[in-house]
Amino acid sequence: MGEMGSASKLPEHTMLSASERLELPKSVKIKIALCQLSVRSEKNQNLVRARNMIKIAAESGARIVVLPEMWNCPYSKDFFAKFAEDFDNEDSSPTISLLSEAASCHGITIIGGSLPEWSNGRLYNTSCVFGPDGKLSAKHRKIHLFDVDIPGDITFKESDIFTGGDKPTIVDTDAGCVGVGICHDIRFPELAMLYAAKGAHIICYPGAFNISTGELLWELMQRSRAADNQLFVATCSPSRDSCGGYAIWGHSTLVGPSGEIIATTGHEENVIVAEIDYSKIKLQRKSIPLDKQKRGDIYQFVDECEEEKHQNSE
């Protein structure tokens, strides 16, 4: 086996350190809401239910509201294209209009779960982030598509339906710096490492794990991403009684920077509201300074996007 190049030769600008880049927001304590929605086969019903849940969350003091993966349509290949919207066409995007209006009306940040998006003839699984002014702050297209074949249990290939995204998404809000992933994105620790290194306080993963993978991995993945990167992780799932033939695990959860579960729910429709204290990130990183304990002489994590920008600027 050939030898790998020396890590010490990597340019400093590609070497990532989460602790060094972390800046806390002005309000270190905020409330977040996870809206575990029961998805119906009629889009208008889903929009009404979402509007009501967002209202409940905002009236409970939530500054960030998270919706589930595929909440405006059942998680089924029979519905994705039918319910998809062109986000650039306001007249044909009632879901986008709803999220914008709700964020502006309540003065909150909405992590809009995920929706089927039509763009240039392709279908994407996309999450939109709206700020308190109602404007679109960021858009994340699911990077890692879920292809699974468990004999006697479940066979499903997202890659037969969707095109994968090609960019990570991190957005500064007045309620904290948020990294966004969708469902299967949580299985890949590199994405979470990248968000932590770029200063994220919390990673939000709208997701719809099925019952088999949910029971085995849902809680494990959330706690692992939070503990490894010493930040908050929030997940939001549709409820199990949602329409479609895809059996959903549910159990939307908020996890703290030491991997502790702060709040969770079962598989029924529910709105969870919980408090986040961002100062716990610095406390955890001071107590167990993982960044300082990493062996940069043996391995390093490189931000390829930043490296490419640097090379293009030279």
> In Å, what is the CA distance from 306 to each residue of 4, 14, 36?
21, 7, 36
Task: Identify the active-site residue in 69, 85, 117, 269.
Answer: 69
Q: Is 275 annotated as catalytic?
A: no
The span from the CA of 182 to the CA of 127, in Å, is 8
Q: Which two tokens stand for residue 268?
A: 């029924």
Beta strands in the chain (DSSP E): 29-36, 64-66, 109-111, 115-119, 122-130, 136-141, 147-150, 154-157, 169-173, 176-180, 202-206, 232-236, 253-255, 261-264, 270-277
The span from the CA of 17 to the CA of 199, in Å, is 9
**3-state SS assignment for residue 142:** coil
> In Å, what is the CA distance from 232 to each residue of 34, 98, 129, 283?
14, 27, 18, 13
The span from the CA of 144 to the CA of 190, in Å, is 12
Task: Identify the active-site residue in 73, 128, 177, 183.
Answer: 183
Q: Is 219 annotated as catalytic?
A: no
Task: Identify the active-site residue in 31, 139, 142, 198.
Answer: 142
The span from the CA of 70 to the CA of 74, in Å, is 7
The answer to whether the beta carbons of residues 281 and 231 sit under 8 Å apart is: yes
Cα dihedral 215, 216, 222, 223, rounded to 10, equals 110
Handedness of CA 63, 92, 181, 80 (dihedral sign): positive
Q: Which two tokens stand for residue 201?
A: 């306080």
Q: Is 26 annotated as catalytic?
A: no
Q: Which residues are catalytic?
A: 69, 142, 183
